[in-house]
């Protein structure tokens, strides 16, 4: 599984170098930029072992480093939400998931202040399920993390970005978010 993730990651980065002219041009003013931010939105996961609806508010804290104007590496902590529901009178079920992700991000400017981006990498996650009267069950793993989005630069340091991210594999989770970024540019 880890070998397949590495192959997909290398292929995604390699194909983006062919498609985006000047991807590794480090003479651009954004090269070497450090950035960070926070996003929040809707998170949902496939909870096949329970009857509860695993949709809730998710959030993430992230940071990255621009290797060139069009290529960055990014890491983040993801809270994929907590869902609590009464399944029977006096019995509640609670499911939560979180993870740490690392991705390569390829971006392409579509207007003066707007960039579209795609990302690919991995997420190490942990999920926990609790049902009243039963022991807590935990699962963890490492799965493929893919995403697409758009970023709008408010000024040289501040920006807004919206994105969709999908964790595929054992976890099967999605997050739709909007957030703010700050860069050292």
The answer to whether 124 touches 100, Cβ cutoff 8 Å, is: yes
pLDDT band at 171 (very low <50, low <70, confident <90, very high): confident
The answer to whether 159 touches 153, Cβ cutoff 8 Å, is: yes
pLDDT of res. 29 = 57
pLDDT of res. 106 = 97
**CATH code at 2-183:** 2.40.160.20
pLDDT of res. 49 = 55
- Mean pLDDT (whole number) for 20-35: 59
pLDDT band at 55 (very low <50, low <70, confident <90, very high): confident
Q: Is the pLDDT of residue 26 over 70?
A: no
pLDDT of res. 51 = 54
Q: Which helix (H) or strand (E) holds 9?
A: helix 2-19
pLDDT of res. 24 = 41
CA 25 to CA 70: how far, in whole Å? 9
pLDDT band at 19 (very low <50, low <70, confident <90, very high): very low
CA 96 to CA 102: how far, in whole Å? 20
CA 146 to CA 133: how far, in whole Å? 37
Q: Would you list the domain boundaries of the chain?
A: 2-183
- The proportion of the chain whose per-residue pLDDT surpasses 70, expressed as a percent, equals 79
pLDDT band at 94 (very low <50, low <70, confident <90, very high): confident
**Is the pTM above the cut of 0.95?**
no
pLDDT band at 130 (very low <50, low <70, confident <90, very high): confident
Q: Is the pLDDT of residue 127 over 70?
A: yes
- Mean pLDDT (whole number) for 38-50: 80
Count CB-CB contacts under 10 A for residue 134.
Answer: 10
Q: Structure tokens of 133?
A: 């009267």
Q: Which residues of 161-185 are buried (b: 16+ CB within 10 A; e: fewer)?
A: bebebebebebebbbebebebebeb
CA 26 to CA 115: how far, in whole Å? 18
Q: Give the residue with greater pLDDT, 76 vs 31.
A: 76
């Amino acid at each position: 599984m880890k070998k397949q993730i590495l192959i997909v990651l290398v292929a995604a980065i390699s194909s983006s170098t062919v498609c985006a002219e000047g991807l590794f041009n480090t003479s651009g003013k954004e090269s070497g930029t450090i950035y960070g931010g926070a996003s929040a939105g809707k998170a949902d996961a496939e909870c096949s072992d329970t009857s509860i609806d695993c949709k809730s508010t998710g959030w993430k804290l992230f940071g990255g480093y621009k290797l060139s104007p069009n290529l960055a590496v990014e890491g983040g902590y993801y809270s994929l939400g907590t869902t609590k529901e009464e399944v029977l009178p006096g019995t509640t079920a609670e499911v939560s998931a979180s993870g740490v992700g690392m991705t390569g991000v390829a971006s392409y400017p579509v207007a003066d202040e707007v960039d579209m981006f795609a990302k690919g990498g991995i997420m190490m996650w942990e999920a926990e399920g609790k049902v009243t009267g039963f022991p807590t069950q935990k699962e963890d793993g490492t799965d493929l993390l893919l995403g697409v989005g758009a970023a709008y630069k408010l000024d040289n340091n501040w920006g807004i970005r919206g994105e969709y991210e999908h964790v595929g594999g054992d976890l099967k989770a999605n997050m739709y978010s909007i957030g703010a970024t700050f860069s050292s540019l």
